[in-house]
Amino acid sequence: MTKRSFKDFSIRKLDLSSYDVHFLSKYRIWFAIPLVVILIAVIVFSVFAIVNKDAQDGMNLGIDFTGGTVMTVTVGNALEEEGAYAEYSEALRKIVEDAGYNVSYVQKSGTGAEAGVMLKYQNKDADIEASNQAMKDAITLRYPSVTAEDVSLESISASSANDLLEKALISLAVIFVVMLVYIAIRFELWSGISALIALIHDVLMMIAFTIIFHIEVNTTYVAAVITIVAYSINNTIIVFDRVRELMPKTQKAYGSRREPLARNIEEAVNETFTRSAVSTLTTMIPVFLLGVFGVLSLRQFAWPIMFGLVAGAFSSLFLAPTIYYLIRNAVNEAKDRKNTKAPQLKQARR
């Protein structure tokens, strides 16, 4: 077999017709897709912010991040009757909205004698004590069987919300650093950097789709992001592990660790493509059903997970391997230039 230089395997000169998926030569597409999604998200964010005259409204932040009130109205066994929950939830929502507050969450809570309706709404700019008393008066007037003690009101301050956001960001940063170190030790530094960029892409795509579809961001959303980060890195590691397994075979054929890099990556993606696609699809089916038929709290968790699954599959199969190839290619070419110049400099000094 005729040996070929590493430069013959540059992205523009790839000849991998024996494989099914030829993704390295389409690297511009893989970089363009997330940029387009982010651009759409920026436009949607701007529209919501301009229409509502508040930059904060560009993203649908829940009271977990903005501050507000959680109200739980205990109804008891009466809530178990047919149609009772729908009637109570709509009536309570109307009471809150008539007071001028936006309800972001309605959910059934408890069972039996503890059954009730939970609502979340923003009233951070109001006189909290007066607002809470007005709510209790309106509810007890509408439902004489419900006493003031049956209406529980818990306020979430803006400082608590900011503290939650800060801890969420710190948690993500720690996860990213730990994964970078783990992958760098198990494989190499360039694999870790590529995987980290892919994870950042997944988080950005989840945020972008959340803005586009104006889905509420709350503590459940943070859990969804962390879940996707863990799920996505698993698929990426599988691809990199397959690249490492293929290296000895192609190294023997080409007599170099550099020349077969592109072939290894292409073949690794093709061999893991079906596994990654099927596992992602089988995960998406139950998550999709939860997003369509589940209660509100489950829907708020399911849809971000759906976005993250799509983004994670994309980054694991196309983005991370492509970034890894580009970095390794650039590093190897830099080493080649250095090794070429070293003898020349030595010769010139003589």
Report pLDDT digits (tens) over 8-21: 444 444 444 444 55
* pLDDT band (50, 70, 90) for residue 114: confident
H-helix or E-strand spanning residue 69: strand 68-74
Domain match, 147 and 173 both: no
H-helix or E-strand spanning residue 227: helix 219-254
* pLDDT band (50, 70, 90) for residue 198: very high
Domain match, 183 and 275 both: yes
Q: How many domains, in total, are found in the chain?
A: 2
φ/ψ (deg, to 5) at 169: -65, -40
Decide: 147 and 140 in contact? Cβ < 8 Å. Answer: yes
Q: Alpha-carbon distance 171 to 173, whole Å?
A: 5
Give, as one character, the DSSP assignment of residue 217: B
Decide: 272 and 238 in contact? Cβ < 8 Å. Answer: yes
Q: Alpha-carbon distance 305 to 226, whole Å?
A: 10
How far lies 25's CA from each of 11, 18, 35, 272, in Å?
5, 14, 18, 19
Domain of 112, in residue numbers: 68-156
Q: Which of 105, 130, 156 is the last residue of a domain?
A: 156
Domain match, 170 and 213 both: yes
Q: Which amino acid is at 102?
A: N
pLDDT at residue 116 above 60? yes
Distant-in-sequence, close-in-space partners of 77: CB < 8 Å, separation ≥ 6: 112, 113, 115
- How much is the pLDDT for 244? 82
- How much is the pLDDT for 104? 78
Min mean pLDDT across 104-108, 211-215, 322-326 is at 104-108
Q: Alpha-carbon distance 121 to 70, whole Å?
A: 7
Please indicate, yes or no, whether the overall pTM of this predicted structure exceeds 0.85: no
- Number of H helices and E strands in the chain, helices first, is 10, 4
Domain match, 193 and 278 both: yes
Q: Alpha-carbon distance 132 to 169, whole Å?
A: 32
* pLDDT band (50, 70, 90) for residue 6: very low
